Amino acid sequence: MKIYLDGKFVEKEKAVVSVFDHGLLYGDGVFEGIRVYNCLVFRLKEHIDRLYRSAEAIKLRIPMTEIEAMETTVKTLKANKLKDAYIRFVVTRGVGDLGLDPRKCPKATIFIITDKISLYPEEFYRKGLKIITATTRRNYPKALDGRIKSLNYLNNILAKIDAIKAGTEEAIMLTHDGYVAECTGDNIFIIKDGVLMTPPADIGALEGITRDAVMDIARRVKMPCQEKMLRMEDVYAANEVFLTGTAAEIVPVVSIDERKIGSGKPGGATLKLKKAFEVITKTDGVKYAL
């Protein structure tokens, strides 16, 4: 496996960063996860746009243009001869000293990993996920905005530990005042009386690329769709619930906190949206040839 690292392709075993890199010392950096389907990088421009927005939000300068970032992503895929893949594009603050001061880091570190990923077993896409509500609350957005896809993921990891302790794969994270924000690695949607709803990003949820794609699909098929503040009572009472994410794609939820959602099986509207999403992954992105 070849990794892009600061302008060069290196073998996996030689892809190393300094122990003084602030991405390692402090989680000071940003990243994107991107999917590739049959030599099509799904919504590559949208992912790179979000990467640069996240970097700007933390005043991190990426030492290449957005066009160069897109081109380098495709070159990394070609170097590994991958048709279907998961991409992890990472930008750290770079090498500094043991202090917090970002001015001590003169140049960002960039690395790109292209590999395979399977977030959930196929069984969960057919039968649905059983999840819980995490005891860990989502970061307060005025302290750390959830729309920044930063390397600081400890908040999500602690909630993931809540899920693991409960014997589940995912957990819903609530805001400090009890509203539904997102899951540890996925956005959440509910369907109630034919209306598709998801929490607004400004309460601490990531503006997911797959989330946006699902909302685009809903609008095209004339399915009412809205961002709405949701309590857990709304989620429990939903006819259908599903999660979205780059790695997860669209996965149905059939039980939350041991409460059955709808019929207890993946819902018809969810499955239709999932099928429509699979169609756009064949056309919506940047195509390349090996």
pLDDT of 211 over the 90 cut: yes
Residue written as token pair 């946006």: 212
**What residues contact 176, with CB distance under 8 A and at least 6 apart?**
137, 138, 140
Structural domain boundaries in the chain: 2-115, 122-280
Domain boundaries 2-115, corresponding CATH code: 3.30.470.10
- Give me the percent of the chain exceeding a pLDDT of 90: 98
- Could you write out the DSSP letters of every residue in 226-276? EE----HHHHHT-SEEEEEETTTEEEEEEEETTEE-TTSS--HHHHHHHHH
Burial class of residue 164 (count of CB atoms within 10 Å of its CB; 0-12, 13-18, 19+):
exposed
Quick: pLDDT tens for 173-197. 999 999 999 999 999 999 999 999 9
Distance, CA of 209 to CA of 138 (rounded, Å): 20
Please answer whether residues 50 and 208 qualify as being in contact, where contact means their C-beta atoms are separated by less than 8 angstroms: no
Mean pLDDT over residues 113-142, rounded? 94
Q: What is the CATH number of domain 122-280?
A: 3.20.10.10
Q: Given this model, what pLDDT does residue 205 score?
A: 94
Residue 163 CA to residue 148 CA, distance in Å, equals: 23
What's the pLDDT band for 9 if we cut at 50, 70, 90? very high
Is the pLDDT at 117 greater than 90? The verdict is: no
Residue 134 pLDDT > 90, yes or no? yes
Binned at pLDDT 50, 70 and 90, residue 119 comes out as confident
Q: pTM score, two decimals?
A: 0.95
* Average pLDDT score over the chain: 97
Query: Could you give the CA distance from residue 108 to residue 110 in angstroms, rounded to a whole number?
Result: 6
Looking at residue 118, its pLDDT comes to 78
pLDDT over 70, % of the chain: 100
CA 222 to CA 233: how far, in whole Å? Answer: 26
Q: Which of 149, 222, 260, 272 is catalytic?
A: 149
pLDDT digits (tens, 9 = 90+) for 25-60: 999 999 999 999 999 999 999 999 999 999 999 999
> What confidence score (pLDDT) does residue 164 get?
98
- List pLDDT tens digits, range 244-257: 999 999 999 999 99
Confidence (pLDDT) at 252:
98
Side by side, which strands form the sheet with 40-42? 8-11, 2-5, 109-115, 85-92, 29-36, 40-42, 285-287
Question: Is 149 one of the catalytic residues?
Answer: yes
What are the φ and ψ backbone dihedral angles of 76, each rounded to 5 degrees? -70, -40
* Dist. CA 170–CA 280, nearest whole Å: 26
